[in-house]
Amino acid sequence: MLLLPLLARPAAAEGPDPEDTTTAAGQSPATAMPAAGERAPGDESVPYEVSIAGDLPGDLQGQLEEVSQLIALQDRPPDTMAALRRRIRDDVSRLESVLHSQSYFDGKIESRVEADSRPARVTLTVEPGMEYLLESYSIDYRPSDPGPKAPHDAADLELNIGMRARAEPIKQAEDRLIRRLGNHGYPYARIVQRRYLVDHARTVMDAQLTVDTGPRVDFGPLAIDGLTDVSEDYLRRIVQWPKGTVFDRREMEKVRRRIIETHLFDTVLLEPPDSPPGDGVAPVKATLAESKHRSVALGAGVTSAQDRFQLKASWEHRNLFHEGENLQLTAKASLLLQALSADFRKPNFLALDQSLIGQSSFSRERSDAYNALSFDNFGGLDRKLSEHWSGRAGLAFELSEITDQFSSSRFALVGAPLTLTYDTRDNVLNPTSGIELTLGTAPWLNSDNLQDLFIVNEASGSTYWAPFDDDSLVLAARGRFGTLTLADNREVPATKRFYAGGASLRGYQFRSVGPLDSEGDPTGGLSVLEGGLELRFRFLDDYGIVPFVDGGQVYDQRLPDLGQDLQWAAGIGFRYFTSIGPLRLDLAFPLNPRPGIDDFFQFYLSIGQAF
């Protein structure tokens, strides 16, 4: 990366001419080349090999090779030796700039060509010389000093006197300077003069900046352009524009993020006037382009479990009453489950970062564990408590008719679910870093018998770590613990008991892990313990291989019996990464299968990582 090209020709001490002899960065007089325009005998081009040699510190070798056009264009040889000579001369200039950007201002580059060889051999020998250090850093503000919040020395810009005079941190300091001024009332500040003076005798650099601050500015009114279906009053309510306060680009970015987080716009651009306002008050224009507010989605999944396939269709409106209200109608169908559901969310209800939630579903389910016909309803509030914490609380009412191994019963349940979530993941469908932790409790009461009270408690979490910068390997782990209190297994509706197997414990049939009746059908339990580990390898950008291990068990007791063996499974997964998330195929094999119960393997096909 070539930064601060002015460093290559400092005014205080100019270096030798790059076209001079080997004593400077340039072509050696010993270089043997034909006259300009001459071709190598019998060839229509001049193929060549190139190497960059020298005692080079750190990663300087790689930086030089990265910018070398001799290397980049090696598979496109020049037509003549004169053209090769021009290519070498241009490369010497590029390599000089890299040396300067890395604080080597007295480096020498010698070029040699063995023209008689086929291909010709080009050698660039680099002597980087001494590292130059930053000796001083001064900022001259005009027309006047903007005050104590403005940077005044190197330390204010995260530079250290005595550090290497590398171009990248010096350029970053310039950007930081303008950004700091823009955050404290001076959005029109600009650097009008830069002087980076190199003293070759002492191998040091002095930096001198002259900054025109422009006028101090306050925020003026916000003009909004581009609204069609979204209510402007609603948008202004959630934006909370800081009119009359000191201009701060960070506040503009906060407003932009609030608008983006509504998911109602494809384009969000906030701009102050191009030139400073005469009255010191800067109006800001928000240019918006609304996204499509309605969509239809289709989905499918395939497994070797009892339901074999899963189909899903949904319709969504994301701006139902012009204030970002979201309504989603969904139909699901598989061999085990058929369901219709409606989910409604009104964002920023009564307060910012608080949503009104309404959910209703009607479902029919037939499985080895139970048969159920259910009508479930929930109403409550979702609230963002901090950057990473959120909570949900509300009331639920469920009507169901359930047949299991114990009885056939009707239930009218009233509950008060409460959930806390901590989430720092970088991506929902394909996380590579962060943690997700969910803590939930839900007391339930049978309205037909007020003494039938039970509480479902559950904690689950997952964590992700990429040891390398390129996310070529991600270590992912998850865990789940649940306990059901104040009732025994027979008193709790089968739909509220704990189960494992299937997507939650790959390698085993859906809900098959845990207590079984005399016919081998799952009865569910009062507690559950699960864990899983994945090594997610990604290669060729779009492909991945994921070896994994899952383990878990469901228990009759309210707390897991650690003396009881877990059911373990291992497998291999394949990923194809798309713009909407990875396409996932997992093959899982039970490691301690139960005779006559567990199959040799299970497979799962869907979109998104397993967790």
**Secondary structure of residue 196 in the 3-state scheme:** strand
382's CB contacts (< 8 A; 6+ apart) are 345, 354, 355, 357, 390, 391, 392
Task: Inform me whether the pLDDT recorded for 6 exceeds 60.
Answer: no
Question: H or E element: which one contains 282?
Answer: strand 281-290
Please provide residue 581's backbone torsions phi and psi, each rounded to the nearest 5 degrees. Answer: 130, 170
Task: Inform me whether the pLDDT recorded for 9 exceeds 80.
Answer: no
Mean pLDDT of 408-432: 94
**Secondary structure of residue 102 in the 3-state scheme:** coil
The pLDDT mean for the chain works out to 90
Tens of pLDDT, residues 242-265: 999 999 999 999 999 999 999 999
**Secondary structure of residue 422 in the 3-state scheme:** strand
Name the residue with higher pLDDT: 604 or 21: 604
CATH fold of the domain at 218-290: Ubiquitin-like (UB roll) (3.10.20)
**Secondary structure of residue 42 in the 3-state scheme:** coil
CATH fold of the domain at 48-127: Ubiquitin-like (UB roll) (3.10.20)
- Res 512: pLDDT: 93
Tens of pLDDT, residues 543-576: 999 999 999 999 999 999 988 999 999 999 999 9
Give the position of tokens 């025994």. Answer: 488
Mean pLDDT of 534-542: 95
Question: Among candidates 287, 290, 285, which has minimal Cα distance to 228?
Answer: 290
Question: Among candidates 554, 551, 553, which has minimal Cα distance to 571?
Answer: 551
Q: How would you list the strands of the sheet with 281-290, edge to edge?
A: 218-225, 281-290, 265-271
Question: Which of 38-42, 363-367, 533-537 bottoms out in mean pLDDT, i.e. has the lowest?
Answer: 38-42
- Res 67: pLDDT: 95
Task: Inform me whether the pLDDT recorded for 116 exceeds 80.
Answer: yes
The torsion region of residue 502 among left (phi > 0), alpha (psi -120 to 50) and beta comes to left
Mean pLDDT of 577-581: 87
140's CB contacts (< 8 A; 6+ apart) are 208, 209, 210, 211
Tens of pLDDT, residues 84-105: 999 999 999 999 999 999 999 9
53's CB contacts (< 8 A; 6+ apart) are 123, 124, 125, 126
**Secondary structure of residue 77 in the 3-state scheme:** coil
Sign of CA dihedral 490, 494, 496, 498: positive
- Res 33: pLDDT: 41
**DSSP states along 346-393:** ESS-SSTTEEEEEEEEEEEEE-SS-EEEEEEEEEEEEEE-SSSEEEEE
278's CB contacts (< 8 A; 6+ apart) are none
Question: Which of 299-313, 373-387, 427-441 bottoms out in mean pLDDT, i.e. has the lowest?
Answer: 299-313
Task: Inform me whether the pLDDT recorded for 26 exceeds 90.
Answer: no
216's CB contacts (< 8 A; 6+ apart) are 146, 185, 186, 246, 280
Question: Among candidates 215, 157, 211, which has minimal Cα distance to 187?
Answer: 215
| Separation of CA 415 from chain center | 36
- Res 245: pLDDT: 97
Q: How far apart are CA 208 and CA 156, in angstroms?
A: 15
Task: Inform me whether the pLDDT recorded for 305 exceeds 90.
Answer: no
Superfamily of domain 133-212: membrane protein fhac (3.10.20.310)
Tens of pLDDT, residues 36-74: 444 444 457 899 999 999 999 878 999 999 999 999 999
Mean pLDDT of 446-461: 88
- Res 471: pLDDT: 87
Tens of pLDDT, residues 493-510: 999 999 999 888 999 999
Q: At what angle do helices 232-239 and 249-260 cross, to 10 degrees?
A: 130
- Res 19: pLDDT: 34
Task: Inform me whether the pLDDT recorded for 363 exceeds 70.
Answer: yes
Please provide residue 151's backbone torsions phi and psi, each rounded to the nearest 5 degrees. Answer: -65, 140
Name the residue with higher pLDDT: 579 or 542: 542
Banded model confidence at residue 579, pLDDT cuts 50, 70, 90: confident
Task: Inform me whether the pLDDT recorded for 14 exceeds 60.
Answer: no
Tokens of 460: 């689950």
Domain ranges of the chain: 48-127, 133-212, 218-290, 294-607
End-to-end alpha carbon distance in the chain: 39
Q: Is there a contact between 34 and 81 (Cβ–Cβ < 8 Å)?
A: yes
Q: How far apart are CA 324 and CA 317, in angstroms?
A: 9
- Res 306: pLDDT: 62
Task: Please give the share of the chain, as a percent, with pLDDT higher than 90.
Answer: 81
Instruction: Give 209-278 as a 3 state SS string.
Output: EEEECCCCCEEEEEEEECCCCCCHHHHHHHHCCCCCCECCHHHHHHHHHHHHCCCCEEEEEEECCCCCCC
Name the residue with higher pLDDT: 301 or 600: 600
Tens of pLDDT, residues 163-176: 999 999 999 999 99
User: What's the alpha-carbon Rg for the chain, to the nearest Å?
Assistant: 34
Banded model confidence at residue 34, pLDDT cuts 50, 70, 90: very low
**DSSP states along 114-166:** ETTSSSEEEEEEEE--PPPEEEEEEEEEESS---TTS--STGGGT--TTSB--
Q: Is there a contact between 3 and 171 (Cβ–Cβ < 8 Å)?
A: yes
**DSSP states along 498-522:** B-B-BTTBTTS-TT-BS-B-TTS-B
Give the position of tokens 């899983």. Answer: 532
Mean pLDDT of 303-315: 79
577's CB contacts (< 8 A; 6+ apart) are 430, 538, 541, 542, 543, 544, 583
133-212 and 294-607: identical CATH topology: no
321's CB contacts (< 8 A; 6+ apart) are none
Length of the chain: 611
Question: H or E element: which one contains 83?
Answer: helix 81-101
Question: Which of 113-117, 210-214, 302-306, 451-455 bottoms out in mean pLDDT, i.e. has the lowest?
Answer: 302-306
Task: Inform me whether the pLDDT recorded for 31 exceeds 80.
Answer: no
CATH class of segment(s) 294-607:
mainly beta
Question: H or E element: which one contains 427?
Answer: none
Tokens of 276: 């400073």
